[in-house]
Amino acid sequence: MESGKENLELNRNLYPIIDFYSSGFLKVSDLHSIYWEQSGNPIGHPVVFLHGGPGGGTSPNNRRFFDPDFYRIILFDQRGAGKSTPHACLEENTTWDLIDDIEKLREHLKIPEWQVFGGSWGSTLALAYSQSHPDKVTGLVLRGIFLLRKKEIDWFYEGGASAIYPDAWEPFRDLIPENERGCFVDAYSKRLNSDDLETQYAAARAWTKWEMMTAHLLPNEENIKKGDDDKFSLAFARIENHYFLNKGFFPSDSYLLDNVDKIRHINTTIVQGRYDVCCPMMSAWDIHKVWPEADFKVVSDAGHSANEPGIAEELVIANEKLKNLIKNGP
């Protein structure tokens, strides 16, 4: 199951940087407007990119996983994230709101059905969306599986991962007084929603840096610097914390695993870094066991980030395989 070197005829490199050909804002509620953009082939096969976080927003590099001659590539910033407005807003911001937004965007762009691509929180949202609208999904590519279960939140935010990254954990821990360390998600929620903006920013920086310092197998300074950007950090930390505090707004801890039957027929590839600390492999393994029909690729020398070489390669290959299925049939 560790990723091999098969299918040598498939492209395995990121595609060149391209610009978008159209963009706009879609008003999805009285309060929220989401930013969207399209790149690649305007009459190509549509694929929607679901970013991580929640709260992470999109970046131009996200377009590079897809063949721009074949795919019509749709990126959008989820509620409160990136260029979407209002920034870092938690009102009317739940998983089910985001699923409705994806459908509103699909209808707005007059797309009958599309491929769905998501990593980390994007994998959570991709699973939830496809389980809600299986008839609208032509294929799935999932990376760094996150099922938003209590044991996953506890591992990363309540001290489990500190065994591997004690140097990164201590600044995250030390922002919180000892008498509030029984639940870091609660303690950070209090500060991220403080009336004092500087208190919010300090908590947001600490929360974001913890994640950015652990997202790569080998430290990535450019990624870590995102924790110094107060605007990015505030949306990233506030929205993540809000979703984690509310258990993803799912009716049960095992909701996504329990509903795999609804999407079992969809051609799917799961790409997982063996040493992913943010979204440890236990979740990808759990979904693999209940969904053996999906291709399961473990990258033996990678952590969490989609930008790590082995993960990026497998993601491109997964899109190439789906492209060939669409072009040539099964």
Is the per-residue pLDDT at 142 higher than 50? yes
Q: Which residues are bridge partners to 273 per DSSP?
A: 299
Helix 230-245 / helix 184-192 crossing angle, nearest 10 deg: 130
Residue 6 has pLDDT above 60, yes or no: no
The reply to whether 33 belongs to the active site is no
Tell me the Cα Rg of the chain: 19
User: Which residue did the predictor score with more confidence, 220 or 29?
Assistant: 29
Flag whether pLDDT at 4 surpasses 50.
no
Those residues with Cβ within 8 angstroms of residue 229's Cβ, 6 or more apart along the chain or in another chain: none
Longest CA pairwise span in the chain (Å):
61
Give percent of the chain above pLDDT 70.
97
Distance CA(98)–CA(126), nearest Å, equals 10
> Is residue 303 a contact partner of residue 273, using CB atoms and an 8 Å limit?
yes
* Averaged pLDDT, 224-237: 90
Q: How many whole angstroms separate alpha carbon 290 and alpha carbon 271?
A: 16
Catalytic residue among 39, 84, 120, 123: 120
CA distance 30 to 240: 22
Average of pLDDT values for 299-322?
Answer: 97
pLDDT of residue 304: 96
Give 15-44 pLDDT, tens digit per residue: 999 999 999 999 999 999 999 999 999 999
Note whether 72 and 138 are within 8 A (CB): no
Mean pLDDT for 184-202 is: 97
**Phi, then psi, of 20 in degrees rounded to 5:** -85, 155
So what's the pLDDT on residue 9? 72
* pLDDT at 2 exceeding the cut of 80: no
- CA 3 and chain centroid, separation: 21
Q: Which pLDDT score is estimated for 1?
A: 55
The CATH homologous superfamily of the domain defined by 20-148+252-328: Alpha/Beta hydrolase fold, catalytic domain (3.40.50.1820)
The residue ranges of every structural domain in the chain are: 20-148+252-328, 150-249
Say how far apart CA 276 and CA 301 lie, in whole Å. Answer: 10
Phi, psi of 198 (to 5 degrees): -65, -35
Average pLDDT on 275-279 reads 98
3 state DSSP class of 194 = coil
The predicted structure's pLDDT at residue 326: 93
Q: How far is CA 189 from CA 12, 57, 94, 168, in A?
A: 41, 20, 16, 20
Q: What is the mean pLDDT of residues 233-246?
A: 98
The DSSP 8-state label assigned to residue 16 in this structure reads P
Least confident of 66-80, 130-144, 160-174, 316-330: 316-330
Q: Is 120 a residue of the active site?
A: yes
Angstrom distance (rounded) from CA 16 to CA 39: 12
Catalytic residue among 32, 276, 288, 305: 276
**pLDDT at 250 (0 to 100):** 98
- 329 has pLDDT over 90: no
Residues in the chain, overall count: 330
| pLDDT at 150 exceeding the cut of 60 | yes
Please, which pLDDT band fits residue 330 given cuts at 50, 70 and 90? low
Please report how the helices 150-157 and 281-290 are oriented relative to each other, as an axis angle in degrees rounded to 10.
160
295 is annotated as an active-site residue: no
pLDDT band for position 3 (cuts 50, 70, 90): very low
pLDDT tens digits for 118-137?
Answer: 999 999 999 999 999 999 99
7 has a pLDDT exceeding 70: no
- Mean pLDDT, all residues of the chain: 95
